[in-house]
Structure 1
Amino acid sequence: MGDQIKIVKTTSENKDFIALVGALDKSLWEAYPELKSNYWGNNIIELNPNVVIVYVNDVAVACACFKKYNKDTIEIKRMFVSVEERGKGLAQNMLQELESWAKEKEFSFAVLETLYKQKAAIKMYQKVGYVITDNYAPYIGLENSICMRKHI
């Protein structure tokens, strides 16, 4: 019997989202202790109505959200899949859901930022059509940042 996977649209006030973002931050600070002061402010999520959470067998295992970057572009934020669930396509499923949701709201592009050590994430983003682009604000001049863009 296979796992039961469910993607739920919610807000940043969802307790499962808050817990997953805590796990994301912990993993990032462990991987990049030198960057905490440079990046902390870029990862604060104000009240956000554009959140998705993936549940596997009713357990929250992955999350992501988007926020408006400019009039025709969203920025993908807080993309995280728990270690035990990686490699199963959940991140791609969340991206599809967020991109569809953004298209419904008449956005045309998505941008995102990730860090240079996130090799698997960069490869996955490229696989689904994101291309590396010049760093956008607030990541201009931050050498550890990899910024990507996609027409949705």
Structure 2
Amino acid sequence: MTHNPSPRSRFGIRFSILARRWRRALDAHLAAAGLTDATWVPLVHLRESGHAITQKELALLVGVDGSSLVRVLDILSRQGLIERRPDASDGRARLIHLTELGEQRVTEILKALREGEERLLVDLADSDIATMLECFDKIEERLAPATDSKDTSR
């Protein structure tokens, strides 16, 4: 007897595996351009956040421990890509900002990402991609309360 699970029952594991493979493919593409995932991911998240954020917020976005992120931020700071500035609303905290050079680097990273993604999406219609993104948005909305409840600092 053949076991043929429903698409709904296959989705989670398939999505998880695909996300990992997608990330590895993009990491390999960016590595060929001299960028490591440890450095490009925080820079892109800083740009995507649209404003300066705390190290803790960035660690949550990147999905790493705050202490691990410190080393990466030190490297990015030495390279002139980010700055740590005092938070006007909390004298103890520092906010992480992209520098002008950091903004330029993110532009280069996003261009390389688009090139890598284009190869992976080449035979998919824009309408199919738009539908997937709408579905991702719905899933993300359902995940947000669970994620927010774990972060009690907000």
Q: TM-score range by the shorter chain?
A: under 0.3
Q: Which has the larger radius of gyration?
A: 2
Q: With structure 2 as the length reference, what TM-score do the two structures score?
A: 0.28
Higher fraction of helix: 2
Q: With structure 1 as the length reference, what TM-score do the two structures score?
A: 0.28
Higher fraction of strand: 1
